[in-house]
Structure 1
Amino acid sequence: MSKHDLIVDQPIARWDEALPLGNGLTGCLLWGNGKPLRFSLDRGDIWDLRLAPEVLDNGFTYAEMIDCVRRGDQESLLNRFDSFYETYPYPTKLPAGSLELRFSKHADKMRSHLALEEACAHVQLTFGDQMVGVSSFLHALNGLGYIRMTGAAETDGFLEVLPPDYTGAFQEESNDPVFATSLTRLEYPAAAKHSEGSLQWFYQRTCHELEYAIVVAQRKTDDGTREWVYAITANHDEENWLENAKRKVTDASMEGFDHAFREHGTWWGRYWAKSSISLPDAEAEKQWYLNNYLFASCSRKGAPPMPLQGVWTADEGLLPPWKGDYHHDLNTELCYWHYLKANHLEEGESFIDFLWDLRPQAHRFAQSFFDAPGLNLPSVMTLTGGAMGGWPMYSMSITNVIWVCQAFDHYWLYTGDHDFLRDKAYVYFKETADCVQRWLVPGEDGKLRLPVSSSPEVHDNLLEAWFDPMSNYDLALLIYLFRRLKDMADWLGHEADADRWANVLAGLPELAVNERHVLMLNPKESLQESHRHHSHMMAIYPLQLLDHRGSERDRKITDATIANLERLGKGQWVGYSFAWAAAFYARQGNGEAAIYHLRQMWQHTCSPNGFHLNGDYKRAGVCMFHYRPFTLEGNFAAVSALQEMLLHTDGETIRAFPAIPRDWAKRSVEFRDFRGEMGVLVSARLHADKLEYVELRAEREGTFRVQNSFAGERLMLRIGSSGQEVHCSRNEIFTIALEAGETCMITSL
């Protein structure tokens, strides 16, 4: 895997170009020129959870929002639901602090190397004729950070622990509260710094319940090597949290860097063994490995799922962009698109577990805001599900939670776990429907509708953003919700429930399509300019309500709507827009367009370290946004689209290499242990325009459907020591019955 490593042969000048390390809960960004070498630290559950007073007001309700919309009262909408997002610096995710390894001058030469296979950063600094090496990793299991330095003079390479600057001079770089709010606005007291023997730490109080610290222990080995072990700890960890952290880092420092690294490397070895790819496109292959590394670094079972920036909160003396919150109108969903097919279940379960554990809060929010049974969540929310406000048509949408539901649906489909379907997926969908149905009423045409509707983030937060009749975005989510509920009820044998959901589904209108067969924003308005959020196209992807391989009508609508994107252009796109568009093209079977859009994103909207920076910050002319706020959803949406080019598994049908570019097909393309639906792992190889094999490995008993993508009609199926010849026309479907644990190798005769 070394060819996929990050290597930088010059000082790294910015935190968003740093070498990223992470273990799901804790993150580190390593950058600088030696004066200093900076370790910017973060922890996923370090939050200021204070809510704005407006959220606690009796008028903070869906009914009041509807009334304001119907009155056209923009001022009340802003005051009650929107403006306080900018007025108050909280709630917000917080930076944890940093470590600085200081030398007497900046390095003359530097080489920074992130080894993905072992999840370890190595920095080589040259000071004249002196060479200094620094290595660092965040332990995959024990949560501690490790640093080792060799070659430094006795008087050089001093490590200091630094708190965030909550009390510095109040300065803002601009008048934009989304991107440039000083930490001083939080009004926290100064941190207390301490040292004791080999230990140093700071202790940070806040003006709410949170207290936290960074503790570092130092050790010098017999050969003069210096090692440090650090921990980020908080008062919600345990009793005696600070003293326990001191003990942990002291004990770990005595065991040493090498001892910890062996255990750490074993975990990452198991992670990388879960799946692999081999592509003739070096950039695409590297991006797959790099982003799977980022995923395991910032999403881990037992830790909070990634918010906008994962475990790498901005290190600029400011609040993170958009306060580092959880956005459910696109961001969290795209972050968790790819992991199931990549066969990284445990890491992705972080999101599922988080949503499930928040059910009590989701019930309370459904009752307090929507005056409804069931569950719902704010679409812009804190770590604990608190509403943060913002553009109300999106931050307080009643349907965005349906998109969140898809995480449960996908998990059930890819694992085939019927217990999960019965005990969690169906429950979450049903409780979501209970809330939504409270507000679904027949319109003049007799069809069900919502009282207010929108299409993120069309028309921003203007009154024009409120649609009547209902938007295709909201409608597609509603169709998906009740269609999947019916399917789940059928699987579970709940006949009465299945009839109930079918009746609701029959009461919904059809998706709005204009005279050119293009999906509209709503029945009265078509998209007239490029837009970053492809919300009107949800029915194509990710909801897959329209099947490009299905009816002529579905194919015509899909092709016309994608063509319309091309007509409107990309001027107002951001990075994730390109990744999402690549998914559309992959569903269409157009590998050329899919990889083109992925390259546009990777080359023009991503930092050298792979971070998705949203805008065309290099000013290459691919879109009109030239800013660089780091968020992660574009990273994983792009990997998902790449995987869709290699394998389709929808409808329980396995299709190998359905959307790869022509030049890839002429060479060699291979993937191993991608996850298909209903608990089957799929491997396949294509070489010189010919499919060489497809292999299925069943985790549970089932009958699996496979499309014949081989050159001929005579196929050999080998299960264990037995073989069976099958005749199947090209592009037709054949089935294979497997017991749990069986493997079937499919080749052409």
Structure 2
Amino acid sequence: MFAAHQSQLLKGLCPMLLKKKCSRWIVLYTVLCVLALDKADGVIAADTVTDTVDWSAMLADHDLRWNRLPQTWKEAPFLGNGEQGTMMYQIDEKTIRWDVGNSAAHDHRPLEQDDFNEKNAPVLNRGRHFIGHLRVIFPESLDSSESALSLWNAEANGTIRSDDGIARWTTMVHATEPVMRFELSTEGDLKGAKFSYVPERATNPRAIRSKNPRVPANPPPVVNKFTDGVQVAVQNLHAGGQTAVAWLTVQSGHQQTLWLSVKHSYPELDASSQAVSAVRTAAAAAPTEWIKRHRDWWHSYYRQSFVTTGDRFWDAFYWIQQYKLACATRDKSWIIDNQGPWLQPTAWNAIWWNLNAQLSHSGFASANRREMGSALSHRLHLCRDNLARNVAEPYQSDSYALGRNSSGWDLLGHAGQPGTGRPPMDASIGRECGNLVWALHNVDLEYRYWQDTSIRDRVLYPLLVRAVNYYRHFLTEEADGYLHLPETYSPEYRKASDCTYDLDLLRWGNSRLLSLAAEMGISETDEPLIATWREIQTKLVPTHINETGRMIGRGVALTSRHRHFSHLLAIYPLRTLTPETAADRELIETSLDHWHSFGGAMAGYSLTGGACLSAILGDGDRALDFLDGLKPFLHANTFYSEAGGLPVIETPLHGATTIQEMLLQSWGGRLRVFPAVPHQWSDVQFHKLRGEGAYLVSARREQGMTKWLHVSAEVGGSVEVQPQLVDAQWVGSEGVKVNVLEPGVYQAQLPEDGYVLF
């Protein structure tokens, strides 16, 4: 169960008392070798590698458990299937509720109607909307409760007591079908309690918060009941499309089972028929087999990789985030917006593109969970025409961009423009320009880590061409011979010409285009822009620096607290600036120290960002110090909020990414194993983490020393390996070649499906 050390979490809610030491799971992966040493070449022979873990027992150690009813979303058990989601909590002494959410449920008011009377017009007009909730009103006051969220089975259950009664409930959101299932049984003076669905008007949380309602308002929901007992509440939206919730309750004595489905359609008006059909299908299915399909999906998902640090808190945290990630997105489904499928009262009911979406989808590649990142490439591909609509008309023929925020449905939202901005847009948002390039870096992770050329050819390359093109229109050569950018906005700080945020992203995107073109065999005759990309690579102005490190832009130093690492993207996540020379290491260290030198309240992602930068420097102890600083930001269920309690999802998910960065890094053609493990983590193990080039990596560390490392190649190739082993012995499959490049660094040439064991 989750072990949280913060005192504010110890108010009767109890997901924090670990009964067992998580480090015991380290011993469950073993390597069985026959040590037949060949003195001539340092090679050993091995019979096999055995990888086993008792997944059910391991994850049960990390289950969330409560000894009272949760009171808010910050404490609630949460379930989801990448689109539909629910949370359960108490709203008064006799009533509990389950939220009903759907990541697809957006308003669809036209881009042309964005009036900018509020600076985030895309969110007001095309953001997520409220749907409704399920509730149970009990006859008597509720006195006590115990409940649990099983990670392994992705199911929640609990017991509720009154003076003379007891109620038991279970909840699951089916992994592969668009249906939630709720059960309730009652005894004593709690008999008679029943589920009821409460439809809500399709209102926009940001509009409510800013007291800026949309006109005309969406109509009230319409409720109908069919002869077979299925009911449906339909929200027909003013701008077209509909959101519908269908449900069916079956009563057997004092036990109820309720199936519920929530669907959204646009422009079609068939969400209602989809939801009704899903409920009927689920209710007619054999329960045992229906539940088995759900559990089988989750059991397969978890086994894609394994991580343990031996740290009780962070192991529990890590696995809860892997669970949360699969609740929030699925293969080619919805990009994780700021809420996930659990929409709450908020100002951020859409996708934010200047950090949030990228961090939410940052860890899928190294975790070997491709379906947790593919929503980005899928949605960007589907909505590419809208990426052109996001820029001003003169640039739409050859440019793509993303604004600060957009609907998750169509990605429409006015992008910033260098120099003049986009009046009447907010002066800062109207100059925020680099967000699409950052998102495409995440798409590049999918390509590089799986070597799927269809992603490269169909999505990454063509979209990156137009994203870089957008910048190209505004570059000007000055007397110094460099290409400069006019004023743009560094997220969460201020405007600057030669803004480091944009230069870092442009430099990465332009360089990546050149490497992709070479890889694809595209010549300058095929693509005349190659000459321009070479010129940009040669002439783009260097990043501005001073004695404090990297600056925000030309003439703009970092002189006050800055939550965002927008001026440090070249270090992380782009890794175009790395600590491989003494000068670059000093610049990174100076920049990191200065960024965190101002004190005051920072955001949770300031700490995860600091941890990742420290990990790149190889400083595991400092990385852990930053990571430990995240603890006070976490709510009891590992959710996170800002601005006085408004939920945002990305930071805890990025915390899990941070742990992976401490255990394995893959950049510059090298697999760096245990690159930043703190001294406190003396016994660490991971299995089937993934590196660039489609390499799967497993390794074990005991008492601060690497015991063994296994690398397998899905597609084959040459890779440098740094296993924290000097004079290592190795064994490989047929055709494997290993050379020593320098002490502790090896060059491994592996055929497709080949492996090497150090």
Question: Could you tell me how far apart the structure 2 residues matched to 1:88 and 1:649 are?
Answer: 36
Q: Does 1:45 align with 2:70?
A: no
Question: 739, 743, 746: which is aligned to 2:751?
Answer: 739
Q: Deviations over 1:612-650 (max 9, x none)?
A: 2136xxxxxxxxxxx121111112221111110000111
Q: Does 1:265 align with 2:300?
A: no
| 1:694–1:346 distance in 2 versus 1, CA, 3 Å | same
Match of 1:448 in 2: 483
Match of 1:68 in 2: none
Question: Could you tell me how far apart the structure 2 residues matched to 1:561 and 1:82 are?
Answer: 38
Match of 2:178 in 1: 143
Match of 2:281 in 1: 251
Contact 1:379 1:396 (8 Å CA) reproduced: no
Q: Give, as a single letter, the amino acid of the residue that structure 1 aligns with 2:106.
A: W
Q: Does 1:432 align with 2:467?
A: yes
Q: Give, as a single letter, the amino acid of the residue that structure 2 aligns with 1:609.
A: N
- Point out the structure with the larger helix share: 1
C-alpha displacement at 1:495, in angstroms?
A: 4.4
Tell me the C-alpha RMSD between the 2 structures.
2.7
Q: Deviations over 1:4-46 (max 9, x none)?
A: 1111111111123211111111111111177322110111111
Question: Could you tell me how far apart the structure 1 residues matched to 2:468 and 2:233 are?
Answer: 48
C-alpha displacement at 1:718, in angstroms?
A: 3.2
| 1:135–1:436 distance in 2 versus 1, CA, 3 Å | same
Contact 1:25 1:311 (8 Å CA) reproduced: yes
Helix, strand or coil for the counterpart of 1:506? helix
Q: Does 1:213 align with 2:244?
A: yes
Alignment of 1:156-555 (within 5 A): 156-165=192-201, 179=209, 181=211, 187-196=217-226, 198-221=229-252, 225-236=255-266, 241-255=271-285, 257-314=287-344, 316=345, 320-322=346-348, 324-366=349-391, 368=393, 370=395, 373-382=398-407, 383-387=409-413, 391-394=426-429, 397-458=432-493, 465-468=494-497, 470-496=498-524, 499-516=531-548, 518-548=549-579, 550-555=580-585
Q: Give, as a single letter, the amino acid of the residue that structure 2 aligns with 1:546.
A: L
Question: Could you tell me how far apart the structure 2 residues matched to 1:258 and 1:30 are?
Answer: 24
Question: Could you tell me how far apart the structure 2 residues matched to 1:203 and 1:423 are?
Answer: 37
Contact 2:639 2:652 (8 Å CA) reproduced: yes
Question: Could you tell me how far apart the structure 2 residues matched to 1:598 and 1:180 are?
Answer: 34
Contact 1:51 1:387 (8 Å CA) reproduced: no
Contact 1:18 1:29 (8 Å CA) reproduced: yes
Contact 1:717 1:725 (8 Å CA) reproduced: no
C-alpha displacement at 1:727, in angstroms?
A: 5.7
C-alpha displacement at 1:48, in angstroms?
A: 1.2
Q: Does 1:713 align with 2:723?
A: no
Contact 1:333 1:404 (8 Å CA) reproduced: yes
| 1:302–1:477 distance in 2 versus 1, CA, 3 Å | closer
Aligned residues: 683
Q: Deviations over 1:698-733 (max 9, x none)?
A: 1112122101411x414222327x9988667543x2
Match of 2:662 in 1: 645
Question: 605, 627, 630: which is aligned to 2:633?
Answer: 605
Q: Deviations over 1:213-272 (max 9, x none)?
A: 211111235x75321101113343967542453343133223354332111000001100
Helix, strand or coil for the counterpart of 2:517? helix
Q: Deviations over 1:388-421 (max 9, x none)?
A: 6864433552322211221222112111223432
| 1:128–1:258 distance in 2 versus 1, CA, 3 Å | farther
Q: Return 133-142 or 94-103, whichever deviates more.
A: 94-103
Q: Deviations over 1:39-98 (max 9, x none)?
A: 10111111112147664xxxxxxxxxxxxxxxxxxxxxxxx8573537994332112211
Match of 2:61 in 1: 3
Structure 1 residue runs without a partner (length 5+): 56-79, 459-464, 616-626
C-alpha displacement at 1:105, in angstroms?
A: 2.5
Q: Deviations over 1:348-370 (max 9, x none)?
A: 10111011111111133346274
Q: Deviations over 1:177-211 (max 9, x none)?
A: 69565879773333233444533332223322132
TM-score normalised by L of structure 1: 0.86
Contact 1:39 1:100 (8 Å CA) reproduced: yes
Question: Could you tell me how far apart the structure 2 residues matched to 1:123 and 1:353 are?
Answer: 38
| 1:234–1:278 distance in 2 versus 1, CA, 3 Å | closer
Question: Could you tell me how far apart the structure 2 residues matched to 1:595 and 1:185 are?
Answer: 49
Q: Deviations over 1:124-148 (max 9, x none)?
A: 1122343321111111111111112
Alignment of 1:566-581 (within 5 A): 566-569=596-599, 571-581=600-610
| 1:396–1:202 distance in 2 versus 1, CA, 3 Å | farther
- Aligned residues: percent identity? 22
Question: Could you tell me how far apart the structure 2 residues matched to 1:428 and 1:52 are?
Answer: 21
Structure 2 residue runs without a partner (length 5+): 1-58, 416-424
Question: Could you tell me how far apart the structure 2 residues matched to 1:224 and 1:10 are?
Answer: 23
Question: Could you tell me how far apart the structure 2 residues matched to 1:512 and 1:580 are?
Answer: 21
| 1:139–1:181 distance in 2 versus 1, CA, 3 Å | farther
TM-score normalised by L of structure 2: 0.85
